[in-house]
């Protein structure tokens, strides 16, 4: 029986985490992926909540990770509310469907509550994230900064009443807004070659 361990991410893990994330997301949402590059450009950013970034290892081998950043809810009533966003959540393809992602999310959300964060806003599959208490962000009056809304924009109160009812526009950290495709390709050239495939179900 394998031994599963969870521990905080350290700077010495960064390279291995980027490799893991590339394996987890390759050809899933687009030909190739960009999630490993997103982690890379966020390293050292004040937006990152390092105390919540956690790893999962099985028999000493890295197989899962979760990554947190700060976001802001620009309230309709004025002012801004500090919130959390997590993602990417990466599980190596050989270890998926074993509850690793679920445990990473549950463990770190519980810790976020003790740290006093009132809520979290993410983008993801509603069918998956409802199990963690996420609902449509629109239920809280939360929309994107550009005024748009869609089912995958989801929110969860970490503290009862933490998101209130005033609503507002969510501002994610700026690195999420766009990816420099040229810089992505240059960064990805440092990794072992993999074939980029256009597959059914991809978003791009």
Q: Provide the residue-wise pLDDT of the chain in tens; the chain has 204 residues.
A: 789 999 999 999 999 999 999 999 999 999 999 999 999 999 999 999 999 999 999 999 999 999 999 999 999 888 999 999 999 999 999 999 999 999 999 999 999 999 999 999 999 999 999 999 999 999 999 999 999 999 999 999 999 999 987 799 999 999 988 889 999 999 999 999 999 999 998 887
Instruction: Say how far apart CA 203 and CA 13 lie, in whole Å.
Output: 29
Instruction: Say how far apart CA 92 and CA 194 lie, in whole Å.
Output: 15
**Residue 202 counted as domain residue:** no
Global pTM reads 0.95
Q: What's residue 87's pLDDT?
A: 95
**Residue 199 counted as domain residue:** no
Q: What's residue 76's pLDDT?
A: 87
Give residue 41's domain range.
Answer: 4-174+181-188
**Residue 137 counted as domain residue:** yes
Instruction: Say how far apart CA 149 and CA 151 lie, in whole Å.
Output: 7
Q: What's residue 178's pLDDT?
A: 82
Do 80 and 71 meet the contact criterion of CB atoms below 8 Å apart? Answer: no
**Residue 198 counted as domain residue:** no
Angle, CA of 156, 174 and 142, to the nearest 5°: 30
**Residue 204 counted as domain residue:** no
Q: In total, how many domains does the chain have?
A: 1
């Amino acid at each position: 029986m394998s031994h599963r361990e969870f521990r905080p991410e350290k700077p010495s893990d960064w390279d291995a985490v980027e490799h893991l994330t590339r394996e987890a997301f390759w050809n899933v949402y687009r030909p190739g992926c960009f999630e490993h590059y997103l982690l890379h450009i966020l390293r050292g950013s004040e937006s990152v909540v390092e105390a919540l970034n956690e790893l999962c290892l099985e028999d000493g081998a890295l197989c899962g990770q979760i990554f947190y950043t700060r976001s802001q809810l620009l309230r309709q009533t004025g002012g801004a509310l500090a919130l959390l966003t997590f993602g990417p959540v990466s599980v190596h393809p050989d270890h998926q469907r074993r509850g690793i992602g679920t445990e990473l999310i549950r463990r770190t959300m519980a810790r976020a509550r003790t740290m006093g964060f009132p809520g979290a806003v993410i983008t993801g599959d509603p069918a998956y994230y409802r199990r963690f208490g996420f609902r449509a962000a629109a239920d809280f009056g939360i929309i994107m900064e550009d005024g748009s809304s869609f089912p995958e924009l989801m929110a969860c109160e970490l503290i009862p009443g933490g998101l209130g009812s005033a609503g507002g526009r969510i501002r994610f950290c700026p690195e999420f807004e766009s990816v420099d495709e040229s810089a992505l390709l240059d960064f990805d050239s440092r990794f072992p070659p993999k074939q980029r495939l256009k597959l059914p179900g991809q978003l791009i």
